[in-house]
A and B are shown apart, each in its own frame.
Chain A
Amino acid sequence: MGVIFNILMRNHPSTLAAATTGPLQGRSHGLLLALFCLLVPFLCFLFWKQHQPPPVASEHGAGIDLMINYLLAAVGGLLLVGHAILAWFVWRFSRQDRVTFRLATVRTEWKWALVPVVLMLLVAEGGVLVFGVPVWKKFYVAKAPANALTVEVTGQQFVWHFRYPGKDGLFGRTHVKFIDDDNVLGLDPTDAAGRDDLIVNGQLRLPVNRPVRLRLRSKDVLHGFFLPSQRVRQDIVPGMLIEVWFVPNQAGQFEILCTELCGLGHHMMRGLLQVMPEREFEQWLNQNHS
């Protein structure tokens, strides 16, 4: 113990020369650091092999995946090249004893500055303009088609409520003063439109391949409505009614997560999404409306 301590603490350099000669010369660090730099993109690749978004299950989701995959390829490429250059520089220039290049001329500087400028404009700005904005427009700016099914999603600490408008296609009015244990959403009993509203707790059933418009509301604090497989994520803001729409195109059962901090049960605010064939869905709806 004491020996190790002594070895560590011996030869305590206090000048540049002492810190860079003899056993502390540091060339091996250059090689190691270069290897480490090369390891990073490789590690990223390994991680990526194991960790990718779940298989996409919605129409616009393919566009989001294209965006992400483009970035993974383009930025991943830059990451690889960048680390290779850094590794090379560190290795190469840690083994020379004198400066071989000192100062660039103004012209050289500007010339080299063009490289990151052009790269970023192409990869980052170009990427978002070409692949990103159209998908963004489709997901957010475009209105849902007329045949879309409308469902209301209400976030509450720490459960999800889903409301279907019923045969009349209208949601009944709600007000906070009507909320009680039997009327979790505060439906106004005097509003006829609300009589046939169907409220389901925790589970969202949707028909496959039909556009669905979600009206997102919160009873209390912010929540985040996240359907990983459908690539749908939208914060829910109390006091606002936010609409998103998408087309689930894979039947199956999925999980709904909350991704905006909403309190101590945030991590267990789980919902289920059941995407089913249209027939089955209609059947279920009819059964429950009576």
Chain B
Amino acid sequence: MIPTPIGNATPHATGFWRRYIFSADHKVIGIQYYLTAMAMALVAGALALLMRIQLTWPGIRLSWLGKLFPAGMPGGVMTPEFYLSLITMHGTLMVFFVISLALVSGFGNYLIPIQIGARDMAYPFLNMLSFWLVVPACLIMLGSFFVEGGAAAAGWTAYPPLSALPQAVPGSGWGQTLWLLAMALFIVSFTMGGLNYVTTILNLRTKGMSMMRLPLTVWTLFFAAVLGLLTFPALTAAAIMLLFDRHFGTSFFVPGGLFVGGEIVPHEGGTPLLWQHLFWFLGHPEVYVLLLPAVGMTFDVLAAFTRKPVFGYRLVVISLIVLTALSVVVWGHHMFVSGMSPYLGEFFTIGTMLITVPSAVIGLCLIASLWGGCLRLTTPMLFAIGVIALFGTGGFGGIFLGNATSDIFLHGSYFVVGHFHFMIGGVTLFAMFAATYFWFPKMFGRSMNERLGRIHFWLSLIGFYGMFLGMHFLGLNGLPRRYYAFTQFEILKPLQGMHLWISISSFLFAAASFLFLFNFFWSLARGSRAARNPWEATTLEWTVRSPPPHGNWEAEPPQVHRWAYEYSAPDAARDFTPQTVEPDGAMAPK
């Protein structure tokens, strides 16, 4: 393992196992991550639909599901504890095992080396290891549904004492322990990935690829990796302490004097708020880990389909730096009404309102990137524009929640559910779709079907707004989240009407997603062959054949002569100039 400036592509692997299963090729690993995320998305999405069904028709009987979950849905009727397992697992899977895996690990692995002109990641073996750690993590998470007591049920935030005491809720038995173990594996894997990203981006850039010539995708992945490395340890520490509280009788989080399930709890002196601080120290930056790469990929797609450079490349980079720095000091905005000192509340609300500034600058750059362009409304472009819209609405919702005073009323309501689905559900999913349609030709050498893609877009857009826009206003009306049913309160009953529409929208969204899946696998086999550079884009990945060979570059790694967004350059022959073209334009793209 002698480091070379161009990356350490392992010798070309032969044989099915080395090539497709235990491969150290960053592209194979990226695709493996992506497909894993897709499988987990099916599960997490199915859980969401189950939740929607229960909320819309409380107590409905689905006999066939009773067979799969005899304890959670006896006779096909969902129990409250099973609903809580559903929200917990849906949230956890979506955040860590779908969006993180698809965007950061999937596209991150695929794109970083090839966009910076490296042959592979700095540590390909570590990379492979990191994927093969996530697989057991996924299996443990899924398996936890089938242990006694069912899957964890304390929410994806796993607040103790609920998550610490098995007698507090059925899911806090083995389900919660498995949840913690799976998260630990995930964190180890993600840390390995982060080390690879940071070193690769800093040290393996090809000749001429200065930092300010990087595509924004790479910039955002870089900050996502840095944030992951610096903040996940807080959750590791918290998870270790929670495991000790659960199994070895320590009292890090569990206070004394509790009386649960008819028994005195034998703990003394712990502080539940400590968990919340540690969790959100990770939890808030984690949303940026998801959000930033989504935004970066959107910029790349926008540039290709406006046929012009993105607006404010420098501004975006500066904003990313500011955002990354601020994002580790605003976690308390999740805890305004938690019992934390009100002075801290003031500090965090002021900090959170500050973080709207770089976010809004990025928003401006997204929207201004359209200005003067000649928009080619292909499927990836439609999704990218969707990202801009979702980012706006989601961001504006955040202003209500980061404001301590209005959060007194909105905290823990469906406003929150609407808001975070726009941000970490919508922006990320739409960006993921945009990225998939955009890079699919590169990844598989075939194109996805454009017509189906556009239908997919429209159904998703309508479905998504139908699901989550109205939720903000349910929250404004006082509807609390994490409720198994809204039947017990007089003030909540009048709100039941909107739930039907939300659920219908969620079915629409699910149907659209199946269309996407069909398109994906159909195109994999039958899509028309794609050339090297079907979108006439400028970045390095488009200069090699599709799919790229092992080691990415057939001969020497490319030399870069210009920044990533040289579209419609005035004296160039065509409306795009790949990064490899020399300044005088002598070397035309192949």
* Nearest residue, chain A, Cβ from B413: A259
- Cβ contact of A33, chosen from B273, B359, B385, B484, cutoff 8 A: B385
Q: Name which of B95-103, B212-220, B226-234, B341-349 contacts chain A.
A: B341-349
A200 at the interface (CB under 8 A from B): no
B354 at the interface (CB under 8 A from A): yes
Interface size on A, residues (CB 8 A): 118
| Cβ-defined contact, A266 with B168, below 8 A | no
B interface residue count range (under 10 / 10 to 19 / 20 to 34 / 35 or more): 35 or more
CA distance A54 to B378 in the complex (A): 45
- Cβ contact of B357, chosen from A37, A116, A179, cutoff 8 A: A116
- Cβ contact of A228, chosen from B159, B343, B371, B478, cutoff 8 A: B478
| Cβ-defined contact, A263 with B399, below 8 A | no
B273, B343, B396, B485 pick with most chain A CB within 10 angstroms: B396
| Cβ-defined contact, A102 with B399, below 8 A | no
B339 at the interface (CB under 8 A from A): yes
| Cβ-defined contact, A234 with B337, below 8 A | yes
Name the distance in Å between A50's Cβ and chain B's nearest Cβ: 7
* Nearest residue, chain A, Cβ from B490: A255
A182 at the interface (CB under 8 A from B): no
B343, B364, B484 pick with most chain A CB within 10 angstroms: B364
Q: Name which of A125-133, A159-167, A190-198, A276-284 contacts chain B.
A: A125-133
A149 at the interface (CB under 8 A from B): no
* Nearest residue, chain A, Cβ from B80: A264
* Nearest residue, chain B, Cβ from A263: B169
| Cβ-defined contact, B376 with A20, below 8 A | yes
Q: How many A-B residue pairs have CB under 8 A?
A: 366
Name the distance in Å between B339's Cβ and chain A's nearest Cβ: 5
A63 at the interface (CB under 8 A from B): yes
B259 at the interface (CB under 8 A from A): yes
B485 contacts across to A, CB distance below 8 A: 267
Given contacts A233-B408, A261-B154, contact A102 B308 (CB under 8 A): yes
| Cβ-defined contact, B363 with A109, below 8 A | no
Contact digits for A50-83, partner B, Cβ 8 Å, 1 yes 0 no: 1111100000000110011001000100110011
- Cβ contact of B162, chosen from A116, A175, A222, cutoff 8 A: A222
B125 at the interface (CB under 8 A from A): no
Given contacts A29-B454, A128-B350, contact A79 B393 (CB under 8 A): yes
- Cβ contact of A86, chosen from B388, B446, B527, cutoff 8 A: B388
CA distance A260 to B335 in the complex (A): 12
A270 contacts across to B, CB distance below 8 A: 488-489
Contact digits for A124-164, partner B, Cβ 8 Å, 1 yes 0 no: 11011101110111011100000000000000110000000
CA distance A220 to B535 in the complex (A): 59
Given contacts A64-B408, A93-B372, A176-B258, contact A237 B480 (CB under 8 A): no
Given contacts A132-B403, A221-B165, A263-B168, contact A239 B473 (CB under 8 A): no
Given contacts A82-B392, A141-B343, A237-B338, contact A128 B311 (CB under 8 A): no
CA distance A265 to B389 in the complex (A): 38
Given contacts A8-B449, A40-B469, contact A79 B396 (CB under 8 A): yes
| Cβ-defined contact, A125 with B354, below 8 A | yes
Interface contacts beyond A82-B396, A93-B371, A136-B404: sample of 6 additional A-B pairs, CB < 8 Å, sorted by A: A15-B534, A50-B473, A64-B406, A75-B400, A141-B343, A220-B260
